[in-house]
Amino acid sequence: MRIKSLVVLIIGFLGLGWVVWFGYKTLFPKQVQILFKTQKPEKRDIQNIVRAEGSLEAQGTSKIGPLFTATVKKIHVKEGQKVTKGMLLAELENQNGGDAEMRRAKGALDTTKADLTFIKAVHKRNKVLYKAGQLSQESFEQSTQTYEKAVATVATNQATYDKEKFLYEQTFVRAPEDGVVVSIPVEQGQTVSPSAATPSVLFEIAKNLGVMKATLYIDESKIGEVKRGMATEITVDTYPYRPPWEGTIDFIGQSKAELPSAAEKQTNQVTYKAEILLNNDEGLLRQGMSVHAKTIIAEAKQVLAVPGLVFQLNSKVLEGAAKVLHYDFKPLDPEKKKALLRQTGKHPVKILWVVDGKSFVEKSVEIGVTDNAWFEILSGVSATDDIIADDMTASEEMKKIAKQIAGS
């Protein structure tokens, strides 16, 4: 009886142990280490966008500056004022005593003109006497020389007077055409000069504020993708909630552009200008506003795509993972791979890895539109392929493999 009870007790303990063990395994299953992750290509929209910064100015803006060093004596207009061609905008005071140089030149001209009148009359009489044989050839030649010198002196003094008159007239700054004064970057009493490091500007006059020109500065790495006629969206910080203004690239510069900001110049960034004309019938856009541009270079709707990380896998680490998992490792032929990556066809080629059963298979794919985060797949894999998509060193086991490879 005791033996029977002992057997029952042992069986009971064994049963209890099995229940505890099963419960533990159920509640705390063994963590299976995942060495890699896969994902299938997915359908999505992709846009290749070039972004750029710039500023606004009215179309056909004229910048009026001084022709000589002077002081701003009086300003006759205000910003935003409409002006007509020839209208007086400002008076300058030159460093030559106002019209003194002009009057001096006029006096010299009048004197030489009077001398010429007398010399011309004498030469005319001498010509008659010479023809009549009453004046020697030498005397007549001297008379001719004196006359020609007098003519030349009058011409020289006339040019000097015309120059001084022109410069004096430039002290009265007038509008070159009808328009609107959009900027007056000087004040009365200020000295201005055309030879300063940054030449002085007295006025900026726009023909028409209904059309604004956005000047963009596009990085050299992107300028090759930008073409005339490309649609571009423009936003300004002043109206963050307003829909963007829309325009098309109207002009692309061929030479390096100087960035307007001194801070940006110090970065040695190489940029090229592009220009877009914007409708400003609402009058919201103003001279000098900073703009942010978004140009859609290419776009694709609901195309097969993969993330950029799938092209960054370390094949040696992946080969180590294949050994751990007892998978076949099937890379492309090295020479064939080099040839594929070097080809310069319409579409670039990239390399990725797929899982096929218990094999890691390296494949080449043709790439279409990309935003550098996602890449359109044109050929090479299908929507059902399992593409290795994660960093192969993410797991602890793969970190060990990566360290072994790095140390070998």
Q: What's the predicted TM-score (pTM) here?
A: 0.61
Instruction: Say how many Å lie between the first and final Cα of the chain, rounded.
Output: 70
Q: Are 79 and 175 members of one domain?
A: yes
Percent of all residues in the chain with a pLDDT value above 70, rounded to a whole number: 84
Q: Are 167 and 70 members of one domain?
A: yes
Give mean pLDDT, residues 267-271: 77
* Residues spanned by the domain of 322: 38-45+302-407
Any domain includes 203:
no
**With helix as H, strand as E and coil as C, how does 119-161 read?**
HHHHHHHHHHHHHCCCCCHHHHHHHHHHHHHHHHHHHHHHHHH
In a 10 Å sphere around its CB, with 0-12 CB exposed, 13-18 middle and 19+ buried, how is residue 71 labelled?
Answer: middle
Domain count, the chain: 4
Percent of all residues in the chain with a pLDDT value above 90, rounded to a whole number: 39
CATH number at residue 213: 2.40.30.170
Q: Are 249 and 290 members of one domain?
A: yes
Q: Are 289 and 309 members of one domain?
A: no
Name the more confident of 389 and 188.
188
Q: Is the pLDDT of residue 408 over 60?
A: no
Q: Are 133 and 172 members of one domain?
A: yes
Name the more confident of 23 and 373.
373
Helix then strand count (H, E) for the chain reads 8, 18
Q: How far, in Å, CA of 250 to CA of 227, rounded?
A: 9
Q: Are 163 and 70 members of one domain?
A: yes
Q: Are 279 and 215 members of one domain?
A: yes
User: Whose structure tokens read 């229940």?
Assistant: 19
Q: Pseudo-torsion of CA 348, 349, 355, 359, nearest 10°?
A: 180
Buried b (16+ CB within 10 A) or exposed e, 11-50: eeeeeeeeeeeeeeeeeeeeeeeebbeeeebeeeebebeb
Any domain includes 197:
no
